[in-house]
Amino acid sequence: MHLRSPEPDAQPLLLLHGWPGSFAEFDRVVDALSDPRRHGGDPSQAFHLVIPSIPGHGFSMPLADAGWNHGRCARAFAARMQRLGYTRYGVQGGDVGAFIAVELGRIDSEHVRGLHCNALVAFPSGDPAELEGLTASEQQRLDRLQSFRDRMMGFAHIQGTRPQTLSYGLHDSPVGQLAWIVEKFKEWTDPAAALPEDAVGVDALLNNVSLYWFTGTSGPSANLYYEAFNDPSAWAPKPRGTVPMAVAVSLTQDVAVRRLAERDHHIVRWTELERGGHFLATEAPMALAADVREFFGSLS
């Protein structure tokens, strides 16, 4: 989706969804980002929005060959922004979208003004010194990361090792597809909501699942995990990023610790949100939009 702002001097912004999300998860932020004047905001903080489907997801073209890892997705999006005539642009991404955003900052730093990420993951290196003096909140997030790796990584291991086998079951069963995705919304949304539909709404939940079901992309979307699991460069040490980055952290669900993120990225803004979970664009759209506007408005 390509949405031009009514403001002629709007900044180009690439919005990247995650898994099990889709371009539709940005539905609640597009108006606030593209037309802030309409919401009583500063028109100088308006954006022309480019909201693609990640390859293998939603309305993207079917994957014709192997190798569609985070880096290749990033190169495809960099080329897309150039074809649209956007020589300087920002990127916002969460979950898988955050991984791709980081790669965009590495491969297209000449054109990327800044990166805004949520649901960012920065793993400990194994050096005990980097974990000394953590705050209680930071320790809680590290504990959450360990709990996730111990108890909730089953989906990732299946998608990362046997995506094609899994896809036959999901593609053949709407109930199976629904359960596979809704489980993630149940576990990853703000725990203040008793049910996932309380956090994001029934329509948003069903729209998202329907995009996977009607496009038959349960398998192709899982393939991105397979590529990441089998790409040695994905886990190899990389140079610290140079593009300015802002991070929005959900204190109820995220695992990001600032000092670990600063080890890998050029962090210039760090926002911790009391409410909202993993799916910030859907759960806390106005908070996310405000943070995006303020970050990019601060860049020269």
CA distance 251 to 67: 34
Q: Which of 116, 68, 69 is nearest to 89 (CA)?
A: 116
- Given 48, 57, 70, 278, which residue is catalytic? 278
CA distance 262 to 16: 22
Q: Which of 69, 65, 120 is nearest to 91 (CA)?
A: 120
Token pair for residue 235? 């886990």
- The DSSP letter of residue 239 is P
- Given 35, 95, 108, 291, which residue is catalytic? 95
- Given 89, 212, 225, 226, which residue is catalytic? 225
**Residue 13 pairs with which residues in a beta bridge?**
49, 90
Task: Reply yes or no on whether 278 is catalytic.
Answer: yes
Up-side HSE of residue 183: CA atoms within 13 Å toward CB?
Answer: 10
Just list the catalytic residues: 95, 225, 278
